[in-house]
Amino acid sequence: MATASRRALIIRLGLLGLLLCTLGAALWWAPELARRVVRTGRGGQRTASVRDHAPVDRAVADALSQAGLRDRLDHSDRDGVITETWRVPQGRQAAALADQIRSSALASGVSEIHISPRDLLDASLRVYAGRQLRYDLLLVPSLPVDTPPPPSANRRERPLVAIIIGGLGRRDAHWLTNSGLPLTLAIQAWTPYALATARDAGLALQEVLVDLDGAAGTDGSQTGGSQTGGSQAGATDPAQARQALPFSTGFLLRETDPERLSALPQAGVVVTTASIAAARPPSLLVLSAWQGRKRRLSDVLARVRYLAATKLHTAVLLESDDPILPGLLSWVRDKAPRRYRVVLASECARPKDVVGLPEQETGASETTSPGARSVSARSSP
């Protein structure tokens, strides 16, 4: 009797052990099987996506070739979106060439393509494959290496150049605040180094702006955006963000519109890379800047010289992690003072008050074709 009970208990324990071993093996191999299924699915999706994008890719390639574009300055492919920068041939305008590319692509079967002016002289094209963005193309003009400013007997009337550096606050920025240069530093509120950078910039007589819009860094990381925790709600409120950042005189908005402008505190300077053609609050100084990201240092300097000579004042925005930033600051320190007055953003936004230059126009009138002088003449001192 005892032997039979013992034998039955052993059998039950054996079955339980076998069940536990089977369950353990299933749990051990389940993640790997799931990963293989996901990889197989993604591979199929990627193959289908490439197949779906093939007609758009051919149409864009043909349109670029027909437009005579040969000099590609930058290329990246992230999450199925191809971003490229192309240099426009000498003597051609980016906006006109963008229209030609759009017409060719639409004739080849592309269903949706949008054009927008960008950064004063450039043109941007966004090409869609169905509802998905496929191409983000930037056309930049061919500018002369050196465009000397108009001669003037009064050294005070040198063209104005403003250097705005965005995306600050996440890392130490002593190398900027100790540079001795009249820089405009756009700092993200509630970041680890925001207060220290704003304090040091204020003591160095540099201008402090609140960076309300983050931008993707040169390595693809996000350099802006709101912080987690209790400050996240305030990060979307310009008034709270400005109160959190000492010495700040205004805001940096990479993209904006009249409605967003009207929501800002009604005093200070606003630097934006968007063209503002509509009416803006009279108490705001709005300065249109162009972005130096994904450009060679030689191209940035050529653009600075050209715009300073033709418009008599220009503002360039660089992100704090841009690899060309040290080279640009070296040029500002060693060579720029011979021809230009490097000023703060609030000074560049009111050139008439600073040196008697005409105020910067906005909207479509900002676009100046290479080789053409601005119609506005230098004002009398």
CA separation for the pair 27, 240 (Å, rounded): 50
Q: Return the pLDDT at 302.
A: 95
Give the DSSP letter string of 136-194: EEEEE----S--PPPP-S-GGGPPEEEEEEEEESSS--HHHHTS-S--EEEE-TTSTTH
- CB burial readout 55-76, b (16+ within 10 A) else e: ebeebbeebbeebebeeeeeee
User: What are the CB-based long-range contacts (under 8 Å, 24+) for 129-134?
Assistant: 129/52, 129/53, 129/56, 130/52, 132/80, 133/81, 134/53, 134/56, 134/57, 134/60, 134/80, 134/81, 134/82
Model confidence band, residue 236 (pLDDT cutoffs 50, 70, 90): low
Q: Return the pLDDT at 24.
A: 78
Q: Which of 95, 96, 70 is nearest to 84 (CA)?
A: 70
Spatial contact of 163 and 181, defined as CB atoms under 8 Å apart: yes
Residue-wise pLDDT for 164-189, tens only, equals 999 999 999 999 999 999 999 999 99
Residue 243 makes CB contacts below 8 A (sequence gap 6+) with: none
- Asked if 53-140 and 155-366 have one fold, the answer is no
Residue 257 makes CB contacts below 8 A (sequence gap 6+) with: 274, 278
Residue 63 makes CB contacts below 8 A (sequence gap 6+) with: 100, 101, 102, 104, 105, 108
CA separation for the pair 193, 49 (Å, rounded): 42
Domain ranges of the chain: 53-140, 155-366
Determine the CATH number of domain 155-366.
3.20.20.370
Residue with tokens 């003597």: 91
pLDDT-above-90 percentage for the chain: 45
Strand partners, 313: 160
Determine the CATH number of domain 53-140.
3.30.460.10
CA separation for the pair 203, 188 (Å, rounded): 18
Spatial contact of 185 and 201, defined as CB atoms under 8 Å apart: yes
Strand partners, 261: none
- φ, ψ at 311 (rounded to 5°): -110, -10
Strand partners, 87: 71, 140
Q: Which of 235, 238, 233 is nearest to 269 (CA)?
A: 238
Tokens of 183: 């820089």
User: How far apart, in Å, do the first and last CA atoms of the chain sit?
Assistant: 119
Query: For the chain, how many residues are written?
Result: 381
| CA distances (Å), origin 310, targets 145, 159, 335 | 14, 9, 19
**Across 182-201, average pLDDT:** 96
Q: What is the mean pLDDT of the chain?
A: 80
CA separation for the pair 157, 296 (Å, rounded): 29
Q: What is the pTM of this model?
A: 0.73
Tokens of 176: 């900027």
CA separation for the pair 163, 306 (Å, rounded): 15
Burial grade of 35 (CB within 10 A; 0-12, 13-18, 19 or more): exposed
Residue-wise pLDDT for 103-158, tens only, equals 999 998 888 898 877 666 888 899 998 888 999 999 999 999 999 998 887 777 89
pLDDT above 60: residue 364? no
Helix (H, G, I), strand (E, B) or coil at 41: helix
Say which amino acid occupies 240: Q
Tokens of 199: 């304090």
pLDDT above 60: residue 38? no
Q: Which residue has the higher pLDDT, 29 or 291?
A: 291
